[in-house]
Amino acid sequence: MGGRKSRAGLTGTLLTALLLTGLGCHKPVVRPQSDDEPEKDRYGIKTVGELTSFGSVEPLNVAGVGLVVGLEGTGSPAPAGDYRQMLEKELLRQKVPDVKKVLNSSDCSLVLVSALIPAGARKGDRIDIEVSLPPGSKTTSLKGGYLKHCLLYNYDLLGNLNPEKFAGSNRAVLGHAIAHAEGPVTVGFGSGDEQAKLKTGRIWGGGRTRVDRPLHLILHSKVQSARVANLIATRINSAFAPTVQSPGAEVARFQSNAVVLLKVPHQYQHNLPRFLRVVRLVPVEESPVAEKNNTDTPRKPYRMQLQEDLRDPARTVTAALRLEALGQSSIEPLKSGLQHDSPLVRFCAAEALAYLGSPACGEELARVVRTQPYLRAYALTAMASLDEAVCHVKLREVLTTSADDETRYGAFRALRALDERDPDLAGELLNEAFWLHRIPSEAEPLVHVSVSKRPEIVLFGSSQKLRPPFAIRAGEFVLTASAEDERCSVTHIPLHGEGDSPTRSRCSLELAEIIKCLAAHGAAYSDILEVIRQ
């Protein structure tokens, strides 16, 4: 424990040096935390982390078999075997008419569907979906396809479940249906050549969890008892009291003498590692007052010592987390840290205040976003956790005025995390496959495209135009304009499907209008990205 905590103190010292160098401030005297003064001895208080370990913190693999439709001749009959039998059974359950004809159609394809469910996920949370072809499939492309509703199961290998009888067996045994997936398949990503990229796909946010996946706090064997487990659950719920709104909504719940179940509070949904750290620092006993530490120095009361350490740049990182773990009663002490000379102390205090729901953090976090690139991501995440007016206002200021590309897009993501239904950020869903957002900006125009989490194109400013002359080929689409043209031609040349003739449209040179025109002709997200890349 002592070694791990001392590294946290060293990190604080290094961050302080970086921040002060960047700001050109007077450097205060920094007292590094000594390795021979571990935090347990310094504070003399037992925390949840000393009695427990976390379980179920890794993402859970889920998988299933699905059907992609709308392939216009690039699909293939489902290969014989277990996968076909599973899909046939599922389609019959869904009462799909003429199942055998569907499975033998070249306009459809059997696919393997997989996803990762993060630790702490709640029922209804969206997850990203991966789609691939099974061995023996003759499908040539999944482009333009749509994955029909399918179930995803947890699973394990037979060799793991019964190593004595089935040692080394790689046969998968399905568990329960704990997620489902559906949506348009986006291709053109991943590794391999262009043909290989057409045979795998993604559906960002195309899955939803069907059950909660709580974290597990596992009590160490020497302290396993109903009394200790209930005490830990009570202490954690007290620390996160504002999130407890009704019976059954508690953050921590006693399950057995050895296990306490945890739900991730809303404010930590974008920062699970911080939630885990704070839980570990929740005290399970009252602070001793009169005891002495190893240096024979009388200990100060726990909260008083933390307030003092918060003002020490060498200790402020851990002190702020420990104060956060005490709950709402720490808001006033943390506010005092906002007035400190050290930018690191101010940031740590502001970050903790954000997760405690105090709007007092807004000004300082916005300042960090603008001026401290090393801490920018942490500050944006903290602001995204606090649905208060100050965060909305400050993030909008950053969104429309910042000259830094990453900062602008980070502010956009943070605002969407606060309210994805915000009409100014909602954007347009094009071709039922990807989103187009147009954001007014006083800074230089910027085009941001996403290749993870969500298929979206964000246009900052209003001057994004293609400069003629150009001739761009992207999949089935060709864009052309001569040097004198004020508009361009968009031609769709179908490569699959019988009897389909080329279609042509004219549109302005504005990038937003070109994207919408391509989508109207059926362009996939990968086609749009290829146009922008060229």
Condensed to tens digits (0 to 9), the pLDDT of residues 377-397 reads 999 999 999 999 999 999 999
* Helices 376-384 & 405-418 angle (0-180, nearest 10): 20
User: Which is nearest to 391 in space by CA: 421, 423, 368?
Assistant: 368
**Residue 255 burial class via C-beta count within 10 angstroms: exposed 0-12, middle 13-18, buried 19 and up:** middle
Structure tokens at 223: 């302290």
How many residues are present in the chain?
534
Q: What is the pLDDT of residue 521?
A: 84
Condensed to tens digits (0 to 9), the pLDDT of residues 262-292 reads 999 989 989 999 999 999 999 997 654 444 5
Q: What is the pLDDT of residue 301?
A: 87
Strand order in the sheet with 215-219: 52-55, 215-219, 259-262, 252-254
Residue that is written with structure tokens 């942490």 in the block: 378
Phi, psi of 378 (to 5 degrees): -65, -40
Q: Which range among 153-157, 293-297, 478-482, 500-504 shows the weakest confidence by mean pLDDT?
A: 293-297
Residue that is written with structure tokens 């160098």 in the block: 21
Q: What is the pLDDT of residue 128?
A: 92
Q: Does a cis peptide bond (omega within 30 degrees of 0) precede residue 469? A: yes
CA atoms within 13 A on the CB side of 440: 3
Q: What is the pLDDT of residue 445?
A: 85
Share of the chain above pLDDT 90, in %: 43
Q: What is the mean pLDDT of the chain?
A: 83
Structure tokens at 103: 């499975």
- Residue predicted with more confidence, 499 or 65: 65
Condensed to tens digits (0 to 9), the pLDDT of residues 290-333 reads 445 555 566 788 899 999 999 999 999 999 999 999 999 999 99
Decide if pLDDT at 168 tops 70: no
Contact call for residues 449 and 529 (beta carbons, < 8 A): yes
- Residue predicted with more confidence, 252 or 194: 252
